[in-house]
Protein backbone atom coordinates (compact mmCIF):
# COMPACT_ATOMS: atom_id res chain seq x y z
CA UNK A 1 0.00 0.00 0.00
CA UNK A 2 1.28 3.45 -0.88
CA UNK A 3 2.09 5.89 1.87
CA UNK A 4 0.62 9.33 2.15
CA UNK A 5 2.07 12.24 0.26
CA UNK A 6 4.28 14.43 2.47
CA UNK A 7 2.91 17.90 3.17
CA UNK A 8 4.41 21.25 2.21
CA UNK A 9 6.77 22.31 5.00
CA UNK A 10 7.60 18.70 5.98
CA UNK A 11 11.15 17.36 5.79
CA UNK A 12 11.34 15.43 2.53
CA UNK A 13 11.60 11.67 3.08
CA UNK A 14 15.18 10.50 2.72
CA UNK A 15 16.27 8.06 0.03
CA UNK A 16 19.39 6.21 -1.04
CA UNK A 17 18.94 4.63 -4.47
CA UNK A 18 21.19 3.45 -7.32
CA UNK A 19 21.44 5.51 -10.50
CA UNK A 20 21.84 4.16 -14.04
CA UNK A 21 25.51 3.32 -13.30
CA UNK A 22 24.66 1.57 -10.03
CA UNK A 23 26.10 4.42 -7.93
CA UNK A 24 24.09 5.34 -4.85
CA UNK A 25 22.52 8.78 -4.55
CA UNK A 26 20.82 10.06 -1.41
CA UNK A 27 18.72 13.08 -0.51
CA UNK A 28 21.40 14.04 2.02
CA UNK A 29 24.05 14.16 -0.73
CA UNK A 30 21.93 16.68 -2.65
CA UNK A 31 21.43 19.11 0.26
CA UNK A 32 22.50 22.67 -0.43
CA UNK A 33 20.67 22.71 -3.77
CA UNK A 34 17.05 22.93 -4.73
CA UNK A 35 15.90 19.51 -5.90
CA UNK A 36 13.32 18.65 -8.51
CA UNK A 37 12.51 15.05 -7.53
CA UNK A 38 10.19 13.56 -10.10
CA UNK A 39 8.60 10.14 -10.11
CA UNK A 40 7.49 8.63 -13.40
CA UNK A 41 5.81 5.36 -14.46
CA UNK A 42 8.11 3.77 -17.06
CA UNK A 43 11.27 4.38 -19.08
CA UNK A 44 10.89 5.06 -22.81
CA UNK A 45 7.10 5.47 -22.89
CA UNK A 46 5.55 8.51 -24.62
CA UNK A 47 4.57 10.61 -21.58
CA UNK A 48 7.69 9.74 -19.60
CA UNK A 49 9.91 10.51 -22.58
CA UNK A 50 8.20 13.88 -23.13
CA UNK A 51 8.62 14.77 -19.45
CA UNK A 52 12.28 13.69 -19.30
CA UNK A 53 13.18 15.51 -22.52
CA UNK A 54 11.49 18.70 -21.26
CA UNK A 55 13.62 18.55 -18.11
CA UNK A 56 16.67 17.93 -20.31
CA UNK A 57 15.85 20.89 -22.54
CA UNK A 58 15.19 23.19 -19.56
CA UNK A 59 18.07 21.92 -17.42
CA UNK A 60 20.21 25.02 -17.96
CA UNK A 61 17.38 27.30 -16.72
CA UNK A 62 16.81 25.02 -13.71
CA UNK A 63 20.52 24.93 -12.88
CA UNK A 64 20.69 28.74 -13.10
CA UNK A 65 18.09 28.71 -10.30
CA UNK A 66 20.30 26.37 -8.26
CA UNK A 67 18.23 23.25 -8.88
CA UNK A 68 19.21 19.65 -9.57
CA UNK A 69 16.84 17.27 -11.37
CA UNK A 70 16.49 13.63 -10.34
CA UNK A 71 14.04 11.13 -11.83
CA UNK A 72 12.80 8.01 -10.02
CA UNK A 73 10.88 4.97 -11.26
CA UNK A 74 10.66 1.29 -10.38
CA UNK A 75 12.58 0.36 -13.55
CA UNK A 76 16.03 -1.14 -13.02
CA UNK A 77 19.35 0.63 -13.51
CA UNK A 78 20.03 -0.96 -16.91
CA UNK A 79 16.66 0.24 -18.24
CA UNK A 80 17.51 3.74 -16.93
CA UNK A 81 20.92 3.60 -18.63
CA UNK A 82 19.34 2.76 -22.01
CA UNK A 83 16.66 5.46 -21.60
CA UNK A 84 19.21 8.11 -20.58
CA UNK A 85 21.54 7.20 -23.46
CA UNK A 86 18.76 7.15 -26.07
CA UNK A 87 17.50 10.62 -25.13
CA UNK A 88 20.78 12.18 -23.88
CA UNK A 89 19.41 12.74 -20.38
CA UNK A 90 22.11 14.51 -18.34
CA UNK A 91 20.54 14.04 -14.90
CA UNK A 92 20.33 10.95 -12.66
CA UNK A 93 17.54 8.41 -13.00
CA UNK A 94 17.21 6.37 -9.83
CA UNK A 95 15.99 2.79 -9.59
CA UNK A 96 13.40 2.23 -6.86
CA UNK A 97 12.91 -1.47 -7.69
CA UNK A 98 10.73 -2.34 -4.71
CA UNK A 99 8.87 0.99 -4.73
CA UNK A 100 9.84 1.83 -1.13
CA UNK A 101 10.84 5.43 -1.87
CA UNK A 102 7.86 6.06 -4.16
CA UNK A 103 5.69 4.78 -1.31
CA UNK A 104 7.28 7.25 1.15
CA UNK A 105 6.24 10.04 -1.23
CA UNK A 106 2.74 8.64 -1.80
CA UNK A 107 3.74 8.06 -5.42
CA UNK A 108 3.36 4.28 -5.71
CA UNK A 109 0.59 2.45 -7.51
CA UNK A 110 0.47 -1.21 -6.57
CA UNK A 111 -1.41 -3.25 -9.15
CA UNK A 112 -0.86 -6.59 -7.43
CA UNK A 113 2.03 -8.16 -9.32
CA UNK A 114 3.03 -4.85 -10.89
CA UNK A 115 4.14 -1.68 -9.13
CA UNK A 116 4.58 1.62 -10.93
CA UNK A 117 5.36 5.13 -9.81
CA UNK A 118 2.73 7.81 -10.26
CA UNK A 119 3.72 10.91 -12.19
CA UNK A 120 4.39 13.10 -9.14
CA UNK A 121 7.02 15.79 -8.69
CA UNK A 122 8.33 17.36 -5.50
CA UNK A 123 10.28 20.61 -5.20
CA UNK A 124 12.62 20.36 -2.21
CA UNK A 125 14.58 23.33 -0.85
CA UNK A 126 18.32 23.31 -0.03
CA UNK A 127 17.55 22.35 3.60
CA UNK A 128 15.59 19.26 2.56
CA UNK A 129 12.14 20.76 3.18
CA UNK A 130 9.29 20.08 0.76
CA UNK A 131 8.17 23.39 -0.78
CA UNK A 132 5.84 22.31 -3.59
CA UNK A 133 4.09 19.14 -4.78
CA UNK A 134 2.83 18.42 -8.26
CA UNK A 135 0.27 15.61 -8.17
CA UNK A 136 -1.32 16.37 -11.54
CA UNK A 137 1.36 16.81 -14.19
CA UNK A 138 0.98 18.04 -17.77
CA UNK A 139 4.20 16.68 -19.32
CA UNK A 140 4.23 19.30 -22.08
CA UNK A 141 4.56 22.26 -19.70
CA UNK A 142 5.71 20.73 -16.42
CA UNK A 143 9.37 21.80 -16.44
CA UNK A 144 8.41 25.40 -17.27
CA UNK A 145 5.85 25.35 -14.43
CA UNK A 146 8.64 24.30 -12.06
CA UNK A 147 10.95 27.05 -13.35
CA UNK A 148 8.21 29.63 -12.72
CA UNK A 149 7.43 28.27 -9.24
CA UNK A 150 11.10 28.00 -8.29
CA UNK A 151 11.69 31.62 -9.32
CA UNK A 152 8.71 32.74 -7.22
CA UNK A 153 9.81 30.68 -4.19
CA UNK A 154 13.30 32.10 -4.33
CA UNK A 155 11.95 35.65 -4.42
CA UNK A 156 9.90 34.91 -1.28
CA UNK A 157 12.91 33.47 0.57
CA UNK A 158 15.25 36.36 -0.28
* Whole-angstrom distance, CA of residue 63 vs CA of residue 146: 12
Best CA proximity match to 133, nearest among 97, 107, 154: 107
Supply φ then ψ for residue 36, to 5 degrees.
-100, 100
Residue 48 appears among annotated catalytic residues: yes
* Displacement of CA 98 from its chain's centroid (Å): 16
Q: Which residue among the candidates 48, 70, 84, 107 is catalytic per the annotation? A: 48
Please identify every residue annotated as catalytic. 48
Amino acid sequence: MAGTTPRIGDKAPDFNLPDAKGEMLSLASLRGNWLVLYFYPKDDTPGCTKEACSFRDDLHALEKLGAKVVGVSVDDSSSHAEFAKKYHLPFPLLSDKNGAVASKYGALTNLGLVKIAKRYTFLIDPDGVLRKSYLSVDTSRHSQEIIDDLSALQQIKS
